[in-house]
Structure 1
Amino acid sequence: MTAADHASPGIVDAHHHVWDLSVRDQDWITGPELAPLRRDFSLADLAPEALAAGVTATVLVQTITVPEETPEFLALAARSDLVAGVVGWTDLTAPDVADTLAGLRTGPGGEHLVGMRHQVQGEPDPRWLVRPDALRGLGAIAEAGLVYDLVVKPHQLDAAVEAAQRLPGLTFVLDHLGKPPIASGELAPWAERIKRLAALPNTVCKLSGMVTEADWGSWTADDLRPYAGTVLDAFGPGRLMFGSDWPVCRLAATYADVLAAADDLTAGLSPAERGDVFTGTAVRTYGLTLTAPSGPPRDRLSAPGARSGPTS
């Protein structure tokens, strides 16, 4: 199965967000650099861009640490033909985390819950993931049959490795390559930490979030290539999945630009390997159920006219 094959379910975007500022504030959107994100972003905004790029299924990922967001996302997924899975949030350190997860699974849209995430990148303790209360919560996620998305910075990858070692029954999905310093061009020590994480069989990585770690105004696919190459070599296509990180990616690139860059960065792979990156890995990891898209087959993954760089 390949992502460009018209008989396949199409491309899976394994990482995007939505928010409605009239429902609640996104308190992380501060300062002039993030001002373009200070508005509502809905599935109705995403759908035309995604479908034009050949994306027929997505995974909607949490944005803030409030318990109300996950049930809202599950209800949204239940009404959507685009969202195939939801990665939600709950307090992993709470003593009743197992009961909370069970309630989410049995509530409206609960069949769409595929994983959980916490904003570990914002935790001052670099070993937050291996605190006893966090490990207990991660164990509950494993018992619930869900996966865990890791949103960490490079200095927190050592704790991620330890957590994955201690919980071999839980699949850990690394978001955004662990946020390497692409703008500076540095690979060490991020690359060595990535190799240690990827050596564990219960880890997967998202080819996502690169453009906003690069120079927003001048990045090219060649700037991303050493980092994409590192995770491709470490995890292999069978444990790598594409994610747009829309709408955050809009700070540095259009949706079509992000997909075109991913297309470029995986051009040396076989059709089957590209099928993994753009569809198969996400389907297997998250247990997604997809339907085949309508319309003509697409010869390339990138949208017509898209280029490997920002539009402004």
Structure 2
Amino acid sequence: MKKIDSHQHFWKYHPVKDAWITDDMKVIQRDFLPEDLQPILQENNVDGCIAVQADQSEEETHFLLGLAENNDFIKGVVGWIDLRSPDLVSRLDYFSQFKKLKGFRHIVQGEADENFLLGTAFCEGIAQLEKHHFTYDILIFPKHLPVAFEFVKRFPNQKFVIDHLAKPNFKQTDFADWEKGMREIASCPNVYCKVSGLVTEADWKHWKTSDFTYCLDVVTEAFGINRLLFGSDWPVSLLAATYKDSFDIVADYYSKFSKEDQEKIWGGNAIAFYNL
């Protein structure tokens, strides 16, 4: 069984560029590079990973591609590109030469406009991805789910994946709006979901495994086994847990599933989605 961590990050920490890493996140205010992750993956019997952008620049995309070129265990990259740029077609042509570049992401959760995904220029950009077989990672909060549903319906042939279950707030117990939004968007067969970033949305100091059960029940029922991907969100997840802790939450929940189903969540679906 191939195990793939479908979502993690690398960075060379810079206090201005990485201003989102605030002082209550001191544990991740440093560099995180392949030599930090590789032994952790080996300890947890994970065969490879997908490196996902954390900065919105083409430099970030090249940085991750460089790391992937020099480290075989980095199986793919989700980079950043300006999807609203008038030069997008030529930039996509350029980036399509990089075999490990699998798709793109924009930090939509950080945009002031809650309808950002429906912007004309952004949607025109998304429409260009399919011909290059690029995927798109959707990074949003629960409040964005109704807009995201309208968005994905416009592109029935584009492969989408929702990062971190759309970040339900595990510190509360009212998941009604989140659940409604997730069940709606899961009705689109081209949308997948990453079982990732769980502890980051929980109480960092006092979470327990049972905090995540309800939401895992919802996404497992809504998306089905064939559209769920394990991801760690390392090193952001270190704010609340070790890599093994994050891994074990997923392992514990899916331990009752068949071996075949577990193989899909741990790697098979990531291999298919990102064409690894």
Aligned length in residues: 276
Of 254, 257, 268, 1:269 maps to 257
Provide Cα deviations, 1:237-282, integer angstroms capped at 9, x if missing partner. 1100000000000000000111111001112211111111001110
Contact persistence 2:160–2:191 (CA under 8 A): yes
2:136 corresponds in structure 1 to 148
Contact persistence 1:13–1:57 (CA under 8 A): yes
User: Residues 160-199 of structure 1 correspond to what in structure 2 (within 5 A)?
Assistant: 160-199=148-187
Give, in whole Å, the separation in 2 of the partners of 1:50 and 1:186.
34
Letter in 1 for 2:159: T
Shift in Å, 1:25: 3.1
Instruction: Give the secondary-structure state (helix, strand or coil) at the position aligned to 1:126.
Output: coil
1:61 corresponds in structure 2 to 52
2:24 corresponds in structure 1 to 33
Letter in 2 for 1:18: F
Query: Which structure features the higher share of helix residues?
Result: 2
Shift in Å, 1:22: 6.0
Unaligned runs of 5+ in 2: none
Provide Cα deviations, 1:90-144, integer angstroms capped at 9, x if missing partner. 11111111211221122xxx10011100000011111111111110111111222
1:104 corresponds in structure 2 to 95
Give, in whole Å, the separation in 1 of the partners of 2:47 and 2:262.
16
Instruction: Give the secondary-structure state (helix, strand or coil) at the position aligned to 1:84.
Output: strand
Shift in Å, 1:217: 0.9
Give, in whole Å, the separation in 2 of the partners of 1:104 and 1:261.
36
Instruction: Give the secondary-structure state (helix, strand or coil) at the position aligned to 2:113.
Output: coil
Identity of aligned residues (%): 37
Letter in 1 for 2:117: L
1:16 corresponds in structure 2 to 8
Letter in 1 for 2:190: N
Letter in 2 for 1:224: F
Q: Aligned pair 1:238/2:230, yes or no?
A: no
Unaligned runs of 5+ in 1: 1-7, 289-312
Contact persistence 1:98–1:144 (CA under 8 A): no
Give, in whole Å, the separation in 2 of the partners of 1:70 and 1:26.
16
Give, in whole Å, the separation in 1 of the partners of 2:14 and 2:174.
40
User: Residues 180-259 of structure 1 correspond to what in structure 2 (within 5 A)?
Assistant: 180-259=168-247
2:37 corresponds in structure 1 to 46
Instruction: Give the secondary-structure state (helix, strand or coil) at the position aligned to 1:87.
Output: strand
- TM-score normalised by length of structure 1: 0.86
Contact persistence 1:74–1:112 (CA under 8 A): yes
Give, in whole Å, the separation in 1 of the partners of 2:274 and 2:16.
28
Give, in whole Å, the separation in 1 of the partners of 2:243 and 2:128.
35
